[in-house]
Amino acid sequence: MLVLVGLMLCLAPADALTAFPPKFQVGKLNGNVVLKCNTSEQQVTWRQNGDTELMAEFDAQGQTLTISGLDLPATGNYSCWAGTVLLDATYLVVSRPREKRMNVSCQAESYRGSFHCSWTGPHSAVFRARLTRSDGSLGEWVPATGHHGQFNASFVDPSFCPFAEELRPLELHLEGLSDTSYLNFSIHFFIHDIVRPDPPQELTVQRRGEKLYLAWAPPASWPLPKSYFALLYRLQYELPNGTQVDKYMEGAEETQLQERAQRVRISCQDPYINTAWSPWSAWQDVDAAQQHQLRGR
C-alpha cells in the first residue's frame, strides 16, 4: 500500500508536483532517454502524465520506453501498466547547468549540531537535502517545505561534538525538481560560522531609589557549562531624551544603571568565535515592569 501511494504521486500532471517523487530520471536536452519499467511483466502499456497517446518520437518496446530528442514537452510522469494495474512510475526531467550560486542561508542557535537552512528556488519546484556529516557519513534525505519559492529544512549532525574543534566542514547537498528540470547545489560550512544565539531570557527590571537593577538568563538553547560556553551580552537602554546607550558585559547576568532609563532590551553573542549577535529581546518598559513587580508582592 505504501509503495502504491508513493507511485500515485507520480500520476498527477507534471505541473502538480508537490512532493519529491520516489523515482526520477534526468536526461539531457535533445538527447535520448531510455526508461525501464521495473516489473516481470512482458507486455506493458506506457502513459505520459496519464495519457496513453504517446508522441511520435517515443518507442515503446515492452518494459523499455525510448525517447529520442528529449525536449520540455516530453518531461513529466511516465507510468507503466498491466491493464488497470500500476506497475512502476518514473518522473522525467531535463538537466540544467549546475547552479553557480543559490541564495542558501543556514543558522544554528547553539553548538548542539542542529541547524536549519533556507533558500530560494522556482515556485514550481520541490526540494530535498542531505547532509555529509562531520565524521564523513551521509545523512538521510530530508524533504524541504516550500511556499512561493522560499524553501526550508532542518538538520541534525549526531556526530557533532560541541567541545571538540571542527576539523572538517559540513556539506549540504540540495536536489530540486521543477515541473521540467533538475537542479542541484552544494555548500560547505562550519557550525561555528553559522551560530546565532537565541535572545537572552527572563530579563527583569527593578528600580531601587535612583538605581536600576537588571538581571537575565542565557538562552535556554545555549549549551552548558557557562564557564565553557560563555556569552557576551549587549544591554541597550533608552534615556528620557530618546538617546540609546549600549553596555557590554561578558559572562555577567546582572548589572545596575545609574542613569534613569525608560526602557531596556538585551542581546548576546559568543565572544570567542565572534558569531552573529542574537535577535534583541523585546523592549521592557521600566516603569511598567516596576508596577508589575509591585502588584505581584
Q: What does residue 10 show for φ and ψ, rounded to 5 degrees?
A: -90, 0
Cβ partners under 8 Å of residue 191, min gap 6: 108, 111, 113, 115, 157, 160, 166, 170
Cα 61 vs. chain centroid, distance in angstroms? 42
- Nearest CA-CA partner of 130 in 180, 83, 171: 171
**Spatial distance between the Cα atoms of 51 and 111, rounded to a whole number of angstroms:** 52
Percent of the chain topping pLDDT 90: 61
pTM of the model: 0.77
Q: Mean pLDDT, to the nearest integer, of 229-237?
A: 95
| Whether residue 225 has a cis bond before it, omega within 30° of 0 | yes
Question: Looking at residues 195-218, what average pLDDT do you find?
Answer: 92
Burial of 67 (0-12, 13-18, 19+ CB in 10 A): buried
Q: Do the Cβ atoms of 226 and 233 come closer than 8 Å?
A: no
Q: Are residues 168 and 230 in the same domain?
A: no
pLDDT at 88: 95
**Domain end: 63, 94, 125, which one?**
94
What grid cell was written down for 260?
534613569
Which CATH number goes with the domain that contains 131? 2.60.40.10
The whole domain housing 174 covers 105-194
90 and 133 fall within a common domain:
no
85-95/263-269 β-pairing = unpaired
Domain count, the chain: 3
Amino acid identity of residue 80, one-letter, is C
User: Which of 17-26, 28-37, 161-170 is most confident?
Assistant: 28-37
87 shares a domain with 34: yes
The share of the chain scoring above pLDDT 70, in percent, equals 90
